[in-house]
Structures are given as C-alpha cells and as structure tokens.
Structure 1
C-alpha cells in the first residue's frame, strides 16, 4: 500500500496523468479539481487530497481537504479546513481508513470541521475523542408538487411507460397544489417585499453579505461566493463526456442551476439568498438577512420558490423552517432530515458552542 499527497498546485497535473485516466474509481472529478485549484483560501502548497493506492495501482481510499477562513472579531482571519470527502474501498481499503483520517488531522493541525457526516462517520469521529460532535440539526425534505414521473425516470430499470402512467397522477396532484398555494399567497396579502435576480459582483449585494456575516465566524463571505459560483462541481448529464470513470460522491446530475437573489423592502436591501436547483429540488445554501426582517424575507423567498419549476425543498435553515411551520405549507411528501457536524477540539478555543452552520457550509454549497 502506498500513500500519496496531492497539493493544490498539483491537482491539474493529477487529472491529466496517465494514472488518473487508468482508474475506474477516481479520487477527484475534473470540475472539483479545477475549482479547488483556484480556491481563494488555499495556497499552492496546501495538501488538498490524500490517497491510498493498492498494490495493483488502483485506489484503496482517499480523503479531501478544503481550506477555508475563520473570521473572528477584532482579529485577522484564521485558517481552518473542511473535510470535503472520505472514501474507503470496501475490500482494498480496510486498513487505510484511520491512517488517512489521522493524517488529515496532522496536516490541518487539528483545525478541521466536518460539516455533513453520515451516522457511521459520526460514531468514528466521536470515538477519536478529538472532536466536539454537535447535536444533529433537524431539517425538512418537502415535496410541494408531484414529480413521480421525473423521479422514477432516474431509477435503474426505468421503462418509459412508467412515466406515462405517473404523469396524469402528477398532473392531478399539481393542479390541487396550485389552487392551495395560490390561496395561501392571496391570504398572505400583497407585499412590499420583492425578490429579484442579483449578482455577488454588485457592490451593494457584496457589502450586504459581508455585513450580515458579522458574528458568525464560519459563514462564507462574498469573495468566497464569487469563486464558488464560477466553478460548480456538478455537471449536467447533457454536458457529460462519455467515459468509464466512477466517483463515489456527487458529480453528474440531470440538471443543476444556481441563483443569487436579492430581497428588497421599500427599495431597501434586506436579504440575499443563494439558491441551488438540482434535479428539481431546491436548496438554499446561504441566506443573509437584515436583523428584524427574518420572517418576511423567509416568506418572500418561499413564495418565490413555489413559483419556480421545482418539485420540492431541502433545508436546515432556521428562518425557512420557522416560516414553513407557520405557513403550514401543503406538501405531497414531508419528512425530517438530519445533518451531523463536528469540529476539532483545537477550534473549540475560538468557536462558541452555540454557533450555527449555514446549509452551504463545508462543500454543500457546491452540490
């Protein structure tokens, strides 16, 4: 077994190498490599990827490191690191899991955050005794329109006639939902809160984002969003090149679009949102809100989402969750989902135990 460490400045060479082209399972996708190579928080010599290579020269495991900035009051930004991925081959990698993990801790000097863990990973991380594991954050997975035909068409063994049978059912459900949602919007009354497309490049939007981040040391600033929105990690299938590579995490999707929205009240900017649409499901990685405007901004954003060609919403955002509960939004499917996070005890010296991650923190904003 060999262990390799790939630096940020070496990512382009890795994906162009013969070894990479020969792999069935790859440790990083081209889109992720391109993005991480220009991460404004990374240096060329930062280690971005750890790999365990088996005797047959194939991949036995890998782990990713994503440099970020910690913004503290009355101090210069400090560096910390997200774990962006951690994968072990079920047969070849049985003995490499923890060596990769502990090497990550060594490289990051213990300044590491895991923003979205599986329950299995949570147990491993907690067992090391080196992390403060947060109580799982409760979110919601909400389908407000029928989309069975679209959903089933992505499943293996799909047959076209299945979608034909499902489509009339979806149509009936969506008709009823449309009437119910229209009634809700009318009941809410005409509003002076407007939602419009925006850009992080706009000066007022840029300044608003950075101002609203005050007090939350982990939330990404406008400079990070500029980089993220320029370099998406997900590739719509219509843009995919044919190939044999497999990647254990999110990569190829049916559709992926990102929006930046501004919410104004009487011509005053009171909210900025980053919204992802992936395969018909909306996510809100970042929502920056002027204090005192949380409820109407969340309501305006939700009603905007309901007018979009999306089937549902996945969110842990507390403003949106409170407004969803208050509105009692009619849903076809509604279920609780949980996000598990942890941060190294080294960071507990500078992080308050009550801090909250936004939905997009870690690498979630990319997916």
Structure 2
C-alpha cells in the first residue's frame, strides 16, 4: 500500500488528469477541488487530500484535509473533510490514513461533525471531544422525503405520502401566512458581504474560534460544493464518489438586520432540499428576539420544510417562547480538538454551526 498526497496547488491538475477521469473511485468532486483551490486560509503547499493506493495504483481509501486558522494559536490548523475506505480492499488503510493525516498536520486538527464511530476513534488519541446540542425545527410536513428512504413500504407509497404532505401543508399555510404578515422586520439581502457587514462582523472576531471574515464568506458563496443541475459527466462521476454533492435544490442567503436604522446582525443562511440552516450568525444577545423573528420570517418566506441550528442562544429562545414550528426534535453533534487547546482558551470561544467544512454540506 502506498500513499499519495495532493496539495492545494495540485488540485486542479489532479481533477484534469487521466488518473482522476479513469479511476474507479473519485476521491474529491470537481466542485470541491475548485473550491478548495481558492481557499483564502490555505497555502499552495498545504495538503488537501491523501490517497491510499494498492499495488496496482487503485484507490482503496482517502482522507481529506481543509486548512484554516484559529484565533487562539498562531499556527495553521486543519479540519477533516472526508474519510473513506473500501469495505474490502481498504480495511487495512483506514487507520494508516488517519495516522498520516495527524503526522502531516502535526496533530493540529479540529473535527467539527463527528459520527459516533469516528468520535470513539478520536477519543483514543490526545483529543478532547465535546457534545453540542441543537434542534431540528419542523415547519412543514415532508413525509414523502423523510420516510421514502426508510424501507421499501414507504418507498412504494411515496406518491400517497406526497399527497398527504400537500394536504397537510395547505392547512399549515394559513397560520404561517398570518404569522408572517404580523411581522415587519427591517433587513436587507446581500449577494456578498459588503463593507457595512464586514465592519459589523469584525467586532466579533475575538469571540470566535475561527475568524470569519469577508473574504471567507464570499469564497463560500462563490464556490459551493453542492450542485443542482448536473450534466451527464457529473452524473456519471457521482456514481464513483461516496459523499453528497448533488441536490435537487441548494442556495445561500446573506442578510443584514437593522433596528432603528442601525445594523444589529448579519446572518448567512443555506437552503438544501427544504432544510434551512444558519451556518454563520453575528449578533448581540440583547437582540436575540429580533434575530429569531428574522429566522422565522426567512424560513416561512423561503418555504423551508425545517430549520436546523446548534446556536445556544437561538435554541434557548426557540424552546422558551412561542414559535411557528410543528415540533422540535433534539439533535446533537460531536466536535474534537487537541487537549492542549483547553489551556489556550478554546472553551471560551464561539463555534459557529458552519465551522470546518459543515457550511458546504
């Protein structure tokens, strides 16, 4: 077994290579490679991808690395962005890939959305794990999408579930309509972060674990990892790539929030197949009521089926006061960071929902 490292400066050439085009396994989508090549927090020689190859130079596993910076240390860090091995040929490649990633990064890694299995692995190393609780808030009925993948029975009655959703959502539209017209909130959409928004979010720089600046958010907006209208070549490539990158719908929305004609918030929403998220939000807790009302308004106006959040202030406000959702489902995610980061004050820093590569997914 051999390892091959792909650096940021090599990503574009890699996806244009014959090796990539003819490989049985695609280790990175074209959109992700193009985006990572433009990463404003990365350097040309930073490693973005590690491949595990068998004796015939076939890919049997890979692990992704997304370089970034944090506010509590002067060194560059990495976020793990993917980890896959072949169920048969790659069994012996999983941990060597992980060790290789730790060696390249000098263990300066932060994991932002661990599965239970990966969390158990990470805990065997010198990493501190942390649980973050959140809510998935259901605004409309979406049985046909949520249940049809559960088993063959629900798949067979998907059309019936869709009709049920339509009927129930017709009734739901009435209270949502009156909820929305009762709210008159001052906000303004942006295609990218402008100077006014940049000045506002800079005020929060010292409180964030990862500095979120104008060039970073504009990079995320301009170079998404998700596509919605794949061509024939992209559809064919998706059969050889094991991470989600094609959706029926995907979009971003940037908002400035005002009170008494003064900016009091900047919100970055994503919408994917009916689920609305808030990867980045900048506001003072004194304005939480206004911010949450803006979230409700955006969800209703954009016909979101659900809203997912791990922001502690937002979840507390939603659960404690009247809201427009049908019901709230408690969810949790796991993060991990080097234990020495505790002494650097990491537990006093704000972790945004979109930190790491989560904003792209």
Displacement of 1:88: 1.7
Stretches of structure 1 lacking an aligned partner (at least 5 in a row): none
Stretches of structure 2 lacking an aligned partner (at least 5 in a row): none
TM-score, normalisation: structure 1: 0.89
Paired residues of 1:152 and 1:162 also in contact (CA < 8 A): no
Displacement of 1:160: 10
Task: Say which SS state the counterpart of residue 353 (structure 1) adopts.
Answer: helix
Matched, 1:171 2:163: no
Paired residues of 2:180 and 2:300 also in contact (CA < 8 A): no
Q: CA RMSD in A?
A: 2.5
Task: Say which SS state the counterpart of residue 253 (structure 1) adopts.
Answer: coil
Residues 143 and 246 of structure 1, relative CA distance in 2, 3 Å threshold: farther
Paired residues of 1:200 and 1:206 also in contact (CA < 8 A): no
- Structure 2 residue aligned with 1:22: 22
TM-score, normalisation: structure 2: 0.90
Paired residues of 1:195 and 1:262 also in contact (CA < 8 A): yes
Aligned pairs for 1:1-367 (under 5 A) are 1-72=1-72, 78-128=75-125, 130-134=126-130, 136-150=131-145, 162=157, 164-182=159-177, 184=179, 190-191=183-184, 193-239=185-231, 241-244=234-237, 245-332=239-326, 334-367=328-361
Paired residues of 2:285 and 2:313 also in contact (CA < 8 A): no
Q: How many residues align?
A: 359
After superposing the two structures, state which structure 1 stretch, 331-340 or 159-168, moved more.
159-168
Residue-by-residue CA offset, 1:286-342 (whole Å, 9 max, x unaligned): 011134212221222222212212211121122321232133435445422111000
After superposing the two structures, state which structure 1 stretch, 233-242 or 80-89, moved more.
233-242
Structure 2: how far apart are the matches of 1:161 and 1:82? 40
Paired residues of 2:136 and 2:306 also in contact (CA < 8 A): yes
Residue-by-residue CA offset, 1:327-367 (whole Å, 9 max, x unaligned): 34354454221110000134334233243421100101112
Paired residues of 1:219 and 1:358 also in contact (CA < 8 A): no
Displacement of 1:219: 4.3
Paired residues of 1:110 and 1:346 also in contact (CA < 8 A): no
Paired residues of 1:359 and 1:365 also in contact (CA < 8 A): yes
